[in-house]
A and B are shown apart, each in its own frame.
Chain A
Amino acid sequence: MKHSDLTVPETISDDEEVARIIFSPSMIIDGQVAPSAFFMDNLKGGPESYVSVWRSFYLQPTPGNIKFGPRKKDDTLAGYASISVSCCHSISYEDYKTQIKPHPSPQNPAHAGIHINKGKAAIKGQCYDPGYLMLAMMIAKNCSLVTF
């Protein structure tokens, strides 16, 4: 079955889990995922506005269905960090809050994003604020890790 054949409801339920694909093994040590796996970056096309995740209830990441181009010889895909939507939404620090929104694409109808707000302002791209670091640390701490 191709990803594009999936039927995925637009509304994201609190019962769902979302998975952050971890491409680089350097982001994992002793079963812990790096808080930096939940950082956003300034890309060539503009600053990222959310942390990309999969709605794993509808599409479980596997080495077979993740588009992965080895970056060097013997490069491997690491796995994914999974967190429940309700848990992720419960994580906040001071005026930092998270919200998971659907971002379906033709290639991946189960694509979604963890959006991070500070008060009413959406965080986009690189953020060095310690409050964001605290939030990323809390998300990482509440994830369970699946390695391939």
Chain B
Amino acid sequence: MTATSYDFKIAAPERGGRWSSSKTYAVSYKSAAIFHIRTSTSIHSANYSLFLDYNKSISAKESFLDRLDKLYLDLKQDWDGYDGSPMEKGAYENTRDAINSMPAAILADWNLYPCPNGTFMLTTKKNSASINIGNTDFSYAAFLNEENQIKGISTFNHENFLTVISHISNILKHEA
């Protein structure tokens, strides 16, 4: 997997001094994890918390992408025992885009599953909303009650996908 660079702020100490200045660094998420281990005991608590959130969100996204890669590579014909099709390349690429575009805090409420027809499905952990992503389109459905529901089908692109995610998040905020 290619390391991606992220910009974030963290309090950095002067040599032998206190944690006093706030600077912006470009750090790859892999080196950030190492940096975290080396410095976690000294970082100011507020920044430490931000750093933990940052690491957690990167880790959540990374684990989604790892699962996606694994499903794409592992699932061959009849993977589901009912003669299911292998995962489609276009569906894989669109799902990768979808995961990358989802805010980590929202992504944490979702699971990723394969579908027998070679598409990928994002489903909330309480099975209240699902998005089925194919080679060109995605269909979606969310249901809490008669007043709070949404469904549709749309061409897959960032704008359409994020609009749907936003609508679904608005519905699910009413979920107990």
Q: B-contacting residues of A (Cβ < 8 Å)?
A: 21, 23-24, 26-27, 29-30, 32, 34-37, 39-44, 48, 52, 68, 71-72, 93, 126, 128-131, 133-134, 136-138, 140-141
Contact = CB atoms under 8 A, between A and B. Distances in A.
A131 B151 contact: yes
A126 B141 contact: no
B127 interface: yes
B29 interface: no
Contacts of B125: 29-30, 32
B132 A128 contact: yes
Given A27-B113, A130-B153, A134-B141, A140 B82 contact: no
Given A41-B116, A137-B128, A137-B143, 4 more contacts: A41-B82, A52-B82, A130-B151, A137-B127
B111 A134 contact: no
B167 interface: no
Contact of A128 (B81, B134, B143): B134
A68 B143 CA distance: 35
Interface stretch (B36-44, B51-59, B71-79, B101-109): B71-79
Contact of B116 (A39, A134, A138, A140): A39
Contacts of A37: 80
A39 B83 CA distance: 12
A140 B151 contact: no
Interface residues of B, number: 37
A130 B76 contact: no
Contacts of A35: 113, 121, 123, 127, 130
Contact of A26 (B75, B143, B152, B153): B75
A39 B149 CA distance: 21
A80 to B, nearest CB: 11
Contacts of B75: 24, 26
A41 B114 contact: no
B9 to A, nearest CB: 34
B97 interface: no
A35 B125 CA distance: 11
B79, B81, B153 interface centre (most CB from chain A within 10 Å): B81
Contacts of A93: 143
B117 interface: yes
Contact of B80 (A24, A126, A141): A24
B65 to A, nearest CB: 15
A48 B137 CA distance: 22
